[in-house]
Structure 1
Amino acid sequence: MPLNLHLLRLFATVAKAGSFSKAADILLLSQPSISKGVRDFELQLGCRLLDRTPRGVKPTREGLALMRHADAVFAAERAAEEELRALRSLDSGSLRIGASTTIATYFIPDYLGAFHARHPGIDLQLTSANTRDIAELMLAHEIEIGLVEGPVEEEGLTSEPWRTDEMALIAGPQHAFARDRTAIDPKRIAHEILIMREPGSGSREVVAQALARLKIDPARTLEIGSTEAIKQVVAAGLGVAIVSTAAAKDQVALGRLKTIEMRGLVILRTLWKLKAPGRLDVPAASAFEKLIAAPVAANAARRVRV
């Protein structure tokens, strides 16, 4: 039979106080109700827990054994209450964030710094993975915030638009594309080695869909599981790639990469925030969501989505 925790509390309080009257004062209950509760508890367990004497009560051998477990139970209860209290505030606790690789590397760091400055007592944990993996972490309740590069169609999750990101064709400075002074015909990509992210990556899906609409089928592709690695390979002269402009700007500024304008093709993608309907957000998650609720890029409305 499962232990009745209310009756366990009555018994433990009486045993520690040494009398029913003192326990009544501690628990703000009447002495008769406590006496009845302890008696009912003894009947349920089938043993005497307290020895009643004119000088008060003392726990029996069985009562002492039960008290040791009661201490552990109520310690766990207090720990749970303290943790929940922390989660309901922004003074302490933790926030687990999952983000697709590009978002984690190029979009989130400034937000993390701003959040820490406002709420230094919150421990931040950032997991970087592809879109599919972030969705699985969200479903498993292993993260509170999920930001991904492509919409997710999973039962138990919804995708909400977060912001707009522009994708750019990049090439090394010695590549033929980089020497062209005008926008290139995007169909020329079909004759190049196209460096792409691994299956499951949101950016890969966006690039593949954009090229498929124009019936561009690259003759050769190379899969690399990191945008940083893709940039280095392209800078070294092996093929071309289409990546986020936010990811490319550092190497473009250094002259190691060039962004190549494509005639009639602008690739815009929506970055997404994952939500689990019915799940109660902790205050830290709500505060972080407010922080990242920046307006969509101003140039998005003037571009043609592909």
Structure 2
Amino acid sequence: MSALPDLDSLKLLVDVGELGSLGRAARAAGIAQPSASKRIALLERRLGLPLLERTPRGSTLTAEGKMVAGWAAQVLAAAQELMRAVQAVRLSEAAHLRVASSMTVAEYLVPRWLGELQHREPEVQVGLDVVNSADVAARVLAGEVELGFVEGPTVPDGLDVRVVGTDRLVVVVAPAHPWARRRTVLRGPELAATPLVVREPGSGTRETLDVAFAAMQRATPRLELGSNSAVKGAAQAGVAPAVLSGHAVESDVATGRLVEVPLTGVNLVRSLRAVWRRGRPLTGPAATLLAIAGRP
């Protein structure tokens, strides 16, 4: 392979799968359909795989295209995380408050909390590290950040804890998956015995799932991925069912990109918690942020 594919071409391929046609994907990218077709053709030559099935009625993904789109979604998610991390580094250089948060809380709750903090104390600059729950706890214990937010069921010794919310993990599949049309409720043991797309070890989502399945016979995961976006992308591509935060898939379920599968027989509700070093009461902006997060 002479060169790596560019991100715009990978995004176009993913959009073909999500939107259902090359024409819709081209419009979403703001380019003409012939330009989109040339871009995908170049990607096919670069990868040596047929990605689109071209018919008089339009172009859709081939089986190989669906697989590549799932992997491409992971690459795009990693690129987005890179840019978020770069932005966090820029902000942290002049930060008055250092915070670490697990990914789900950072994506769906922390922005609102920080917005209110900025409204109350506009002079405060915040440096936010977005990592998995295990790394959040480690950074708080090491004194690298003043306050952390985690979603896992356990917290290491040496930390004070306050519950700031709850979350429910849900099972989601692609609309074409057989579970999307099942007439019976999915039971916990069947879910545990199914190879799933899951988050990586150390994430709060993964730890919650591991605890819930502890007493069940469990299949080896189909894929272990490092972000909610990557897990969603793989599920949308039909790789396997996925288990994710309800916050993370809410818009995808609402728009039909994913289908939630009703589940019984396993508890996937978890607490979202703020953590800080034991014996060091929070003061200043950190105390304000904790009060905002902990408000009903």
Q: TM-score range by the shorter chain?
A: 0.5 to 0.7
For 1:96 and 1:238, locate their aligned partners in 2 and report how far apart those are by CA, in whole Å.
38
* Contact 2:133–2:152 (8 Å) recurs in 1: yes
| 1:204 aligned to which of 203, 206, 218 | 206
* Contact 1:167–1:267 (8 Å) recurs in 2: yes
Alignment-derived partner of residue 115 in structure 1: 117
Q: How does 1:49-88 map to 2 (within 5 A)?
A: none
| 2:134 aligned to which of 132, 141, 147 | 132
Structure 2 spans left out of the alignment, 5+ residues: 1-93
| 1:102 aligned to which of 99, 104, 108 | 104
Alignment-derived partner of residue 74 in structure 1: none
* Contact 2:153–2:207 (8 Å) recurs in 1: no
Alignment-derived partner of residue 291 in structure 1: 292
* Matched residue count: 203
For 2:251 and 2:234, locate their aligned partners in 1 and report how far apart those are by CA, in whole Å.
15
**What are the superposed Cα offsets for residues 78-117 of structure 1, whole Å, 9 maximum, x if unpaired?**
xxxxxxxxxxxxxx97211110111111121111112212
Alignment-derived partner of residue 269 in structure 1: 270
Q: How does 1:156-235 map to 2 (within 5 A)?
A: 156-213=158-215, 215-235=216-236
For 2:224 and 2:95, locate their aligned partners in 1 and report how far apart those are by CA, in whole Å.
39
* Pairwise CA RMSD: 2.0
For 1:183 and 1:279, locate their aligned partners in 2 and report how far apart those are by CA, in whole Å.
47
* Contact 1:163–1:294 (8 Å) recurs in 2: no
For 1:259 and 1:178, locate their aligned partners in 2 and report how far apart those are by CA, in whole Å.
7
1:273 is paired with a residue of what secondary structure? Answer: strand
2:186 is paired with a residue of what secondary structure? Answer: coil
- Opposite residue 291 of structure 1, the aligned amino acid is I
Please, what TM-score do these two structures have when normalized by structure 1? 0.62
Please, what TM-score do these two structures have when normalized by structure 2? 0.64
* CA positional deviation for 1:167: 0.9
For 2:158 and 2:264, locate their aligned partners in 1 and report how far apart those are by CA, in whole Å.
40
* CA positional deviation for 1:264: 3.3
Indicate the percent of aligned positions where both proteins have the same amino acid: 34
Structure 1 spans left out of the alignment, 5+ residues: 1-91, 296-306
Q: Which has the higher contact order (CA 8 A, sep 6+)?
A: 2
Alignment-derived partner of residue 281 in structure 1: 282
Larger Cα-atom Rg: 1
